[in-house]
Amino acid sequence: MKVCKALLVGLAVFALGCRASDVLEDVQDLFQMRIDSLKQVYDKEREELMATILQQKLAGTENSCLNGASQASLSQSEYLQRFADGPCSPTIILPGIGGSKLVAVIDCEKLREKNPKVF
């Protein structure tokens, strides 16, 4: 990259009789414009790809929480049972079930030396 810049600047200075700093600024501007245009193309293609992936993922997910059954064709109890058996069933987390005990080991002699007000 540095070699390309040096060649471009050298050619422009030689051919046009310009100052090297002016030519270098112009070359940097050209590179930046090219980078910006490539980034716009990349962003647009990425958005289109993400939209396509989302559409594919959502295809066929109608009534997926009821395992494909229609809500209109089910009674209230069947609806609740299908929902509970389906993939959208809520999860209940009970605190303390998966917890652990906090065990504190206190060296009383060091505590007395460092903080006598506690005793």
* Predicted local confidence at residue 13, as pLDDT: 55
* Predicted local confidence at residue 68, as pLDDT: 76
> pTM of whole model > 0.75?
no
Split the chain (119 residues) into runs of 10 and give each run's mean pLDDT.
57 58 75 92 94 79 77 85 80 69 84 81
* Predicted local confidence at residue 37, as pLDDT: 92
> Where do the domains of the chain lie?
1-59
CA distances from 72 to 63, 68, 69 (A): 11, 12, 9
CB neighbour burial string for 81-91, b if at least 16 within 10 angstroms, e if fewer:
ebbeeeeeeee
Under 8 Å between Cβ of 9 and 23: yes
